[in-house]
Structure 1
Amino acid sequence: MNKIVVITGAGGYVGRHVTRAVAELGYEAVAVVRQRRDGDLAAEARVVEADVLDSSFDISAVAPVKRIAAVIHLAWQDGFVHNAPSHLERLSDHYRFLAALVEAGVSRIAALGSMHEIGYWEGAVTAETPTNPVTLYGIAKDALRRSATLTIGNRAEFVWLRAYYILGDDRRNRSIFAKLLEAADRGETVFPFTTGRTLYDFIDVAELGRQIAVAATAEGLTGIVNVASGEPESLANRVERFISENELDIALEYGAFPDRPYDSPGIWGDAATITELMARSPFARRD
């Protein structure tokens, strides 16, 4: 009988890809969603409708705890709206959920973090890089990481998976890539843009899903792990490449918008740990 991996937020932008990757690794994927929608999840997943942030949620109602290899907590409201009040309003609910998992006997927990925990930083981000978030999203993620590590870090294996600039499956996100597709749909041929000089760590959401699945189920691995490419690339270069790849008849109007004051000139993840894990994973052997 296969071990179970429970994925919260499984119907979301990232969650769909994590659920598929978990199933491909040979686990029984249990996808927890607030409301099921057709086509959101891989056919291999067992779907459970539940609100994990409700105080009455019980993980044992989802799966037998003794069979759970890991719980991957992805559920998060307003992830693309960096200063939405909901980030702090729901923070205690996320903390309660993670703490309750340990109380129920779950032995391994992974949660998704963000580069926005770091704040202004130039260069590669490691597990030791200090955090100084400047958005409500970053503040809430950083607070959850700190509080959960303090409370459950010595009672269960807890890994914090820090993500960077995600693209791919772009009709489902709210990134600049989705906005480019929407502009092209409207017949626009000019797209207002920043300087595009900022360097980011871009990763396709399908690859991110595989990295999350591998790191979340790697027994003994704890602490902060960057789920990232580890390769800095300018926003301008990546967007121009996206336009070419998708054959969009649209040109960038550089300098139409100022760069955001809280964005670093260049920030990317140190990907040494995840690169090693992926090289030993079934995904590498399959390729």
Structure 2
Amino acid sequence: MSNTSDGRVIVTGAGGYLGPHVVTALADLGHDVVAVMRPGSAAPLDDRATVEESDILSADFSPTHWADASAVVHLAWKDGFQHNSPAHMEQLSAHYRLLTGIAAAGVPRIVALGTMHEVGYWEGAITAATPTNPRSQYGIAKDALRRALPFALPESTSLAWARAYYIYGDDRRSNSIFRKLLEAADERRTEFPFTTGKNLYDFIRVEDLGRQLAALTDAIDIEGTVNCSTGEPKSLAAQVEDFIAEHGLDITLEYGAFPDRPYDSPGVWGDAATIHEVMQRHG
């Protein structure tokens, strides 16, 4: 099995919601981790990481000083929780420039974070071959980058596109419904307006996703789109009710207060066969 074990790994977007968990997971595997963050970021990071503050999407940034790295995990992305932010398309070329520059510098492995929103409306399991028809600026930009990179990177660079699903955990640092529930509890609200909650999603804890991405970084022979998920669909209502019970929140959901979003599938999840195989390699 080919891998990048014990090498120097660069993590962009290390100060974001997912970044600290990927940094810790990579350090746990024995990597020398360089956590790249925007200047002035105060995100909590594993003490084992070396911090680099850089504006990696600026036109004058060069990744040539990463040439000795065994891999780059590219998580950086502005406004990931704002699906129609203009930043997605405005910064697309900068992401392309960065990743092609990393490959040109000679880095042999790139793991780039994707999203289920690349696919758009779909019912059932998503595989690597599922056709994409994104319905948001976020999904369009991510899918455009995913499609373009295989044509732009040299054969000497192995690329894994890690397609993520519904991430939760570390909820105070997220912008999800789970953070909103905690904030409602802080305000001593006992009712929370909700949708029908019937939609099925693939929920994964942020720590587990961090470990999947770390393992995928090592699996240099695994290329292309990889679903980083559990592969197990669960209704939003069941997940939220479990969250309320787990945290002991005195909150009742007001089902049907909000309509379900028209672009959400009644049920969608990732085919996790490949990532499960990758995780088995790490025992």
Q: What corresponds to 1:278 in structure 2?
A: 279
Q: Is the 8 A contact 1:69 1:217 kept in 2?
A: no
1:30 maps to which of 7, 29, 34: 34
Q: What corresponds to 2:247 in structure 1?
A: 246
Q: What corresponds to 2:233 in structure 1?
A: 232
Q: CA deviation at 1:155?
A: 4.3
1:165-180 aligned within 5 A: 165-180=166-181
Tell me: CA distance 1:2–1:216, structure 2 relative to 1, closer, same or farther (3 Å).
closer
RMSD: 1.3
Q: What corresponds to 2:139 in structure 1?
A: 138
Q: Is the 8 A contact 2:15 2:42 kept in 1?
A: no
Unaligned runs of 5+ in 1: none
Q: Residues of 1 paired with 2:268 and 2:153: CA distance?
A: 29
Q: Residues of 1 paired with 2:215 and 2:6: CA distance?
A: 16
* 1:53 and 2:57 aligned: yes
Q: Residues of 1 paired with 2:222 and 2:205: CA distance?
A: 23
| TM-score, normalisation: structure 2 | 0.96
Q: Is the 8 A contact 2:158 2:221 kept in 1?
A: yes
User: For residues 25-60 of structure 1, what are the alpha-carbon distances to aligned partners after superposition, in whole Å with 9 as ceiling and x for unaligned?
Assistant: 101000000135456110000000001111222223
Q: CA deviation at 1:108?
A: 1.0
1:74-153 aligned within 5 A: 74-152=75-153
Amino acid at match of 1:131: T
Q: Is the 8 A contact 2:103 2:154 kept in 1?
A: no
Q: CA deviation at 1:2?
A: 4.4
* 1:43 and 2:65 aligned: no
Unaligned runs of 5+ in 2: none
Number of residue equivalences: 279
| TM-score, normalisation: structure 1 | 0.95
Q: Residues of 2 paired with 1:265 and 1:117: CA distance?
A: 17
Q: Is the 8 A contact 1:11 1:36 kept in 2?
A: no
Q: Is the 8 A contact 1:197 1:234 kept in 2?
A: yes
Q: Is the 8 A contact 1:119 1:138 kept in 2?
A: yes
